[in-house]
Structure 1
Amino acid sequence: MKNKINQIEGIVVSKKANYLFVDIDTNHLSTNILEDLDIEVSSRLLCTQRSRLAYSESFVSVGDRVLVEAISFSKATGVVCKIFPRSSFFERPPVANITNIFVLISLDQPRFDYDQASRFLLTAENTRQKVSLILTKKDLITQNLLNQYLDRLNQWGYNPYPISVKTGDGVQKLKNTLTNSKIGVFCGPSGAGKSSLLNYLLPYASIPVGDLSKKLSRGKHTTRNVELFQLTNNSLIADTPGFNRPEIDIDPKELAFLFPEIRQQIHTNRCKFRDCLHLGEPGCALDKKFERYSNYKQFLKLMINRRRQYQAG
């Protein structure tokens, strides 16, 4: 063989047990190399990772840009030897280099839960990436009720995408936004319709979709692993395992910035003190007459108590 490929860059699209599935860009391989290989080159390699990465606590996650060596195109295998620096990281579930978070909440079956939606939105906002709210199963409620939800969520600072994969209503508008994201993440409670939406967008993916639990009236877990799916050449989307009450662990001083309705006020009217927690301190500029202020105080108390327990222990 005249040309030997020692290393090539790729992106981790799936992780199962101790194996990584890495997509590489075969367009970067020269014509001469492809001819010398004399085989059909797969763009996806099954990889392990060098033990030194684990020893250095450099754990590979889905979404990571990596360097692959010891490549066998005949077996479609390789070994990840390097992880490139991350631009962002979503901890639960772990996804690297995300640019957009899409929070999916169903309007019915299971019924929309404002507290649950707020928790997911706060977790998403904590990534400091662009957050969008998707309201699924709009075909199950009346337009009047949908308008009430939209008006309330607009006051939270969000402009939701109401959709129905059953009728296709609203999906094209959402798709335009999805394809403008480099690596987007679907998150939300089980049964919200994350896998159903991906199947609508990518019929070839055949992602398992679960039924609602009749006993609990909420979704069953069907997505077991994080996986990236390609929407366009420049856009990937991750389906993630559903979880019903995401844990929130945020610095109390940063919590206010995770509420768009508070964030907007802070940018317009500065408080007297930079460390103001907006609990009635002198010179606090926050107008507290908005729906989620009690929600903010509840989470703030939780975060403060958690920090105290951590410092004491």
Structure 2
Amino acid sequence: MQEGIITKGVGGLYEVKTDNKTYQCRARGLFRKKKITPLVGDRVKIDEIQDDNGYIIEIMNRSTELIRPPVANVNQAIIVFAIKKPMPNFWLLDRFLILAEKENLDVVICINKVDLDSSEEIEKINKIYEKAGYKIINTSCKKDLGINELRNVLQNKISVFSGPSGVGKSTLLNMIQPNLQLKTGDVSKKTSRGKHTTRHTELMELENGGWVLDTPGFSSLELSFIEEDELELYFNEIHDLSEHCKFRGCKHNKEPKCAVKEAVEKNEISKFRYENYLLFLNELKDNRRY
């Protein structure tokens, strides 16, 4: 019996890296009976090894489990979006931040392709998310900006790289460690969206210590795993002001004398962050009706 980590899973076949080598493994039927699916990032025990093949017989306890992308034991999320080509989708960014916050992950927001826009616009976005409590790294692969800083935050972490297609996740990882040789693609001129180049989730070991997961781009994220009353916990700047609202349990929507709404009017809280909060709040209310 040997212990290892699942680095890739395609069609029911899993690559498990041990201290000595990588094995191709299948999961025992008992996992199907228990409705447990092995995930990339799982620490596992394998047995019945013949040549380079074996069976997963045990999945060790997970410290974290993400739904989308489906990975285990990640402790840091690098959320990547481009300042242009494609244009940033803050609605999607805020949804992923909620998922990362729910799993208690360390979060780094990477604003890529900063060579394509003015420094004023980039600084405006930096301030909004820094005020919300997030670390921001501005990067440009063409100008080799921010790559060393990004490389440093990956050290000794298991990090998931995620974000919409076309924002440059694979290109960034190739800059960080060229021998990864990940496929990259351009943004479609017709749709202004990225073309999918990452087809599956794969865990890759870094030379300076740590692991990264390059994941397929995503376009939606369900919020059904949280309650209405929880939502403000995942908007740090809103939660920090909530204690100053007149009414306990204020949802910061239609209630009078709401400190959050007053802060939005004074431009102390980002208007689009607040609008996203309201969109998500209404979505959660609608979900509870069915």
Alignment counterpart, residue 165 of structure 2, candidates 144, 166, 190: 190
2:4 corresponds to: 10
Secondary structure, in 3 states, of the residue corresponding to 2:223? coil
For residue 13 of structure 1, what is the amino acid of its counterpart?
T
The 5 A counterparts of 1:23-172 are: 23-26=17-20, 43-72=21-50, 75-172=51-148
State which drifts further: 185-194 or 291-300: 291-300
Instruction: Write the distance in 2 (CA, Å) between the matches of 1:150 and 1:99.
Output: 23
Q: Structure 1 residues 233 and 140 mapped into 2: Cα distance closer, same or farther (>3 Å)?
A: closer
Alignment counterpart, residue 303 of structure 1, candidates 267, 284, 290: 284
How many residue pairs were aligned? 282
Instruction: Write the distance in 1 (CA, Å) between the matches of 2:91 and 2:82.
Output: 13
Q: Structure 1 residues 140 and 294 mapped into 2: Cα distance closer, same or farther (>3 Å)?
A: closer
CA displacement, residues 191-218 of structure 1 (integer Å, 9 cap, x when unaligned): 0111111111121121111121111011
Q: Structure 1 residues 109 and 284 mapped into 2: Cα distance closer, same or farther (>3 Å)?
A: closer
What residue ranges of structure 2 are gaps of 5+ in the alignment?
none
Q: Structure 1 residues 116 and 237 mapped into 2: Cα distance closer, same or farther (>3 Å)?
A: same
Shift of 1:284: 6.2
For residue 52 of structure 1, what is the amino acid of its counterpart?
L
Pair member with larger Rg: 1
TM-score, structure 2 as length reference: 0.89
Instruction: Write the distance in 2 (CA, Å) between the matches of 1:204 and 1:211.
Output: 21
State which drifts further: 14-23 or 163-172: 163-172
**1:259 matched to 2:245:** no
Secondary structure, in 3 states, of the residue corresponding to 1:20? strand
CA displacement, residues 142-199 of structure 1 (integer Å, 9 cap, x when unaligned): 3233223323333443331000122211111121111142x11011000011111111
Secondary structure, in 3 states, of the residue corresponding to 2:107? strand
1:210 corresponds to: 185
Instruction: Write the distance in 2 (CA, Å) between the matches of 1:64 and 1:144.
Output: 42
Instruction: Write the distance in 1 (CA, Å) between the matches of 2:203 and 2:180.
Output: 11
Shift of 1:60: 0.3
Q: Structure 1 residues 52 and 114 mapped into 2: Cα distance closer, same or farther (>3 Å)?
A: closer
- In angstroms, what is the RMSD of aligned CA positions? 2.2
Q: Structure 1 residues 139 and 283 mapped into 2: Cα distance closer, same or farther (>3 Å)?
A: closer
For residue 25 of structure 2, what is the amino acid of its counterpart?
C
Instruction: Write the distance in 2 (CA, Å) between the matches of 1:264 and 1:10.
Output: 42
1:36 corresponds to: none
Q: Structure 1 residues 276 and 146 mapped into 2: Cα distance closer, same or farther (>3 Å)?
A: closer
Alignment counterpart, residue 252 of structure 2, candidates 278, 297, 310: 278
For residue 22 of structure 2, what is the amino acid of its counterpart?
R
Report sequence identity in percent.
35
Report if aligned partners of 2:155, 2:208 keep a CA contact under 8 Å in 1: no
For residue 69 of structure 2, what is the amino acid of its counterpart?
P
State which drifts further: 199-208 or 257-266: 257-266
Secondary structure, in 3 states, of the residue corresponding to 2:199? coil
Q: Structure 1 residues 269 and 184 mapped into 2: Cα distance closer, same or farther (>3 Å)?
A: farther
